[in-house]
Amino acid sequence: MNIQGTVEDVKSISTAYGTMYNIVVDGVSYGAGKFAPRVSPGDVVSFTAEQKGRYNNIVPKTISVVGKGAAPAPRAAPAAAAPTRGGNDFGKNQDVISKQAARNSAIAMFRELRELDALPIGKTAKAGDKLEAAVAIVDQLTEKFYNYSIGVSEVKAEAAAKAASEAEGDEPWS
């Protein structure tokens, strides 16, 4: 694709393959390769670009300066989107992520315990009993890992669980 526009920025990026260069033209970044392009912010350039994967790259030896201009004014950062109704609640999302991580850790721990033959599940137990015991173990580990991740000690967690179970039989306030 043929591109013509004003250079906003010339960037150098250190990579495992050495320093690579990009130029930003009209808000879009284009890879220029290992050699610094001979352009400056404000130059009007023309070149052929090709897309390789998710990157836009300048086809070698096609870039030319077609005009000189003043450096462009910096672009304003896009305005943050207003939260939508029922939308993003960072605390709630973070809590869900913490619970998912705790569950994944519990499952990994369960697998390790199984490999070590360290699970308190009898070998002669029925399949349904084994499943119930396995789920209970994973649930306990999940709770333990989640409480650890949010800074709640086991003693506090046990006290909270006991208070919650005692409160289940209470009458609602009138």
Q: Is residue 85 part of a domain?
A: no
Q: What is the pLDDT of residues 51-96, one digit of tens each?
A: 888 889 999 889 999 888 665 556 666 666 555 555 566 677 888 8
pLDDT band of 173, cuts 50, 70, 90: very low
Check if the beta carbon of residue 5 is closer than 8 Å to that of residue 26: yes
Of 35, 67, 99, the one marking the end of a domain is: 67
Q: Is residue 75 part of a domain?
A: no
Rounded to 5 degrees, what angle do the CA atoms 150, 151, 156 make? Answer: 110
Q: Are residues 96 and 158 in the same domain?
A: yes
Q: Which DSSP string do the residues of 70-107 spell out, in sequence order?
A: PPPPPPPPPPPPPPPTT---HHHHHHHHHHHHHHHHHH
Of 11, 32, 67, the one marking the end of a domain is: 67
pTM beyond 0.85: no
Return the amino acid letter for 161. A
Residue 124 belongs to domain spanning: 90-167
Q: Are residues 60 and 107 in the same domain?
A: no
Is residue 31 over pLDDT 50? yes
Can you give the CATH number for the domain in which 39 is found? 2.40.50.140
Q: Give the residue among 21, 23, 20 at the shortest CA–CA distance from 9.
A: 23
Indicate the number of domains in the chain: 2
Q: Is residue 54 part of a domain?
A: yes
Q: Is residue 50 part of a domain?
A: yes
Q: Is residue 124 part of a domain?
A: yes
| Distance, CA of 103 to CA of 142 (rounded, Å) | 5
Helix axes 127-149, 90-115, angle to 10 degrees: 130
